[in-house]
Amino acid sequence: MKYYKSLQDLIENFQMYPGIGPKTAERLAFFTIQKCSKEAVESFSKSLIEAIEKTKNCKICGCFTDQDVCEVCQDEKRDNTILVVSDTKDIIMFEKTAQYYGKYHSLNGLISPLNGVGPDDINLASLFERVKSENIDEVIVATSANIDGEMTALYIKNILEKEGVKVSRIGYGLPAGGDIEYADEVTLIKALEGRKTM
Amino acid sequence: MKYYKSLQDLIENFQMYPGIGPKTAERLAFFTIQKCSKEAVESFSKSLIEAIEKTKNCKICGCFTDQDVCEVCQDEKRDNTILVVSDTKDIIMFEKTAQYYGKYHSLNGLISPLNGVGPDDINLASLFERVKSENIDEVIVATSANIDGEMTALYIKNILEKEGVKVSRIGYGLPAGGDIEYADEVTLIKALEGRKTM
């Protein structure tokens, strides 16, 4: 059975997403042509383009934003702490807990010697600059609980403890080997509360 | 946490699909802005519009096609049988088995007195016309194994047995209460082989 081209194209395009295999892609494509209104599909199509065209990375923290500087970095009432993540979308996961009132910083990666990623390949230099220029009291390292995450946390601690800055690491609640992306909000709140000075 | 508008819009649009909740929609939206190339997103966006603009229903059988008459109905070598389905996409499920060489007909619904759907509300009249005009030997009713499916099959049998047309119903393999959409191809082949004259 060959589908006609426009249906086949749609099925293949759906499969670029993780977790969407051939069968799910088929179901989504059929839903699109069978159950969705033309307006809904046009709105979806447009929002894909708009999202990718308007999304930038905040010049200061690296978070996704549609402005030059994100809303968190623009907010002058934020605490003088920086929560450091490896993956930009983890910022949004923590922001959704509504229990953290400080700033963020995305490393956009982790130190990983096995993969040839050194400290200069991720956004560490800008973190250390911010710690000085923004008078930061505490840096909370929220990397995942794996080897690269531990190593990156240790590297940050070694640099910043010389400067007299408190470095802590989220701990309680994040399951070993787990990924921040899949944690629920309560677990993330516990992880923030249970952080330990390194 | 409020997302910026274009990201929020994309997340909401993903949620129009069945099986995509807020968390999955978020993951898909982040994957879009973070991991997909601009070309891939543009291709996806375009294919959504093309699929919905180019998809028509075949004038004869009702199947999805980008022409006036679908490839199966154009194929003169097809057997003189009609396989009747309630949902248009079920045609494609059977066609993928590559074990059925006849024609198809989509009722686009089932007789369902409880929901106020009578025989005139679904594509039954055109089925009976086709059985006469196309010299059909056998009508295979492939409706799901539930009350509405049984009732519709019985209705078709009652009309067509007066005309001397053999009416059969797929049987072996389709689990009771199950949905054709979720059946694998082997099950559908078994269902075709195990059909019984009504």
Please state, in angstroms and rounded to a whole number, the distance separating the CA atoms of residues B77 and B137.
Answer: 15
Residue B180 clears pLDDT 90, i.e. is over it: no
If pLDDT is split at 50, 70 and 90, which confidence band does B179 have?
Answer: confident
B173 has a pLDDT exceeding 90: no
The count of structural domains within chain B is 2
Overall average pLDDT of the B64-83 stretch: 92
Cα–Cα separations (whole angstroms), residue A18 to A108, A118, A192, B14, B30: 20, 28, 29, 14, 11
Is B125 touching A (CB cutoff 8 A)?
Answer: no
Cβ <8 Å between B13 and A43 = yes
CA–CA separation, A184 and A174 (whole Å)? 10
Residues A65 and A46 in one domain: no
Give the residue from chain A lying closest to B62, CA to CA: A34
* Mean pLDDT (whole number) for A45-63: 93
ipTM of the complex: 0.79
Q: Stretch A152-179: mean pLDDT, rounded? A: 84
pLDDT averaged over every residue in chain B? 89
The whole-number average pLDDT for the span B186-192 is 77
- Are residues B34 and B65 located together in one domain of the fold? no
CATH of the domain at A35: 1.10.8.420
C-alpha B163/C-alpha B9 separation (Å) is: 55
Q: Is the pLDDT of residue B198 over 80?
A: no
Average pLDDT for A9-23: 94
pLDDT score, position A1? 55
CATH number of the CATH domain containing A144:
3.40.1360.10
* pLDDT at residue B1 in the model: 55
**B47, B73, B179: best to mutate for the A interface, most A CBs within 10 A:** B47
Tell me the pLDDT tens digit for each residue of B7-49.
999 999 999 999 999 999 999 999 999 989 999 999 999 999 9
Residues whose CB is less than 8 angstroms from the CB of residue A128 and which lie 6 or more positions away in sequence, other chains included: A159, A160
- B134 to each of A106, A152, B80, B138, B192, how far by Cα in Å? 67, 73, 7, 11, 22
Residues B14 and B91 in one domain: no
pLDDT in tens, A28-50: 999 999 989 999 999 999 999 99
CB-CB under 8 Å, A33 with B51: yes
Model confidence band, residue B120 (pLDDT cutoffs 50, 70, 90): very high
Q: Are residues B90 and B40 both part of a single domain? A: no
> Shortest CB distance from B30 goes to which of A5, A32, A89?
A89
Higher pLDDT, B193 or B4: B4
Q: Is there a single domain that holds both residue A80 and residue A99?
A: yes
Residues of A in contact with B88 (CB under 8 A): 34
pLDDT the model gives residue B147: 84
One domain for residues B123 and B170: yes
Q: For residue A176, what pLDDT band results from cuts at 50, 70 and 90?
A: low
Does residue A69 share a domain with residue A50?
no
- For residue A93, give the chain B residue with the closest CA: B1
What is the band of B143 on the pLDDT scale with cuts at 50, 70, 90? Answer: confident
Together in a domain, B46 and B75: no
Cβ–Cβ under 8 Å, residues B110 and B93: no
In which domain, by residue range, is A90 found? 57-197
Instruction: Assess whether B40 and B100 both reside in one domain.
Output: no
Residues of B in contact with A2 (CB under 8 A): 71
Q: Which pair of structure tokens corresponds to residue B23?
A: 């968390």
- In eight-state DSSP terms, residue A119 is G
Q: What is the mean pLDDT of chain A?
A: 89
Q: Which of A11-15, A91-95, B81-85, B145-149 has the lowest mean pLDDT?
A: B145-149
If asked whether residues B18 and B112 sit together in one domain, one would say no
pLDDT higher than 80, residue B2: no
Whether residue A188 contacts residue A171, with contact meaning beta carbons closer than 8 Å, is answered with no
Q: pLDDT at position A32, please?
A: 95
Residues B17 and B106 in one domain: no
> The whole model's pTM is what?
0.78
Q: b/e for A101-123, b at 16 or more Cβ within 10 A?
A: ebbbbbbebbbbeeeeeeeeebb
First to last CA, chain A: 61
The answer on pLDDT for B94 being more than 60 is yes
Instruction: Mark whether A30 and A67 lie in a shared domain.
Output: no
Residue A22 has pLDDT above 70, yes or no: yes
Average pLDDT (B76-100) is 90
